[in-house]
Amino acid sequence: IIEKDPMEPNKKPNDKDLSLVEIGPRFVLNVIRIFEGSFSGATIFANPEFVSPNQIRRDYRMAKAARHQARVVAKEEKRRKVAESNLPEDSLSEFSLSDFLNVIE
């Protein structure tokens, strides 16, 4: 890639004007399995670190379902605790706001 100087657009490029710029990511292929034949036969090599995309998606969905189940259990536990906590009757509950406003006037 040659960068032109806007002050000298007609200048001839030399070796110092050239620069190498990376224009994108590399394309990398990871070996999953090597067979004895072209596309079949005994397995010569199997990559033990390879995890299939389906397994990754399954693990993600299982983790998401576990988080949801934990929220459901926590919500039910909270409902149970609120139902069990019987607070005593408030002595001021029989009065309304208008009663208090009448007393102030």
Phi-psi region of 41 (alpha: psi -120 to 50; beta: other; left: phi over 0): left
What is the average per-residue pLDDT within 6-24?
A: 71
Q: Are 34 and 45 in contact (CB under 8 A)?
A: yes
Q: Percent of the chain, pLDDT > 90? A: 46
- How far apart CA 17 and CA 21 sit, in angstroms, is 13
Would you say residue 15 has pLDDT above 70? no
pLDDT value of position 36:
93
Would you say residue 105 has pLDDT above 70? no
Task: Give Cβ neighbours of residue 46 (< 8 Å, ≥ 6 apart).
Answer: 32, 33, 34
Maximum separation of any 2 CA atoms in the chain, in Å: 99
pLDDT value of position 42:
96
pTM of the complete model beyond 0.75? no
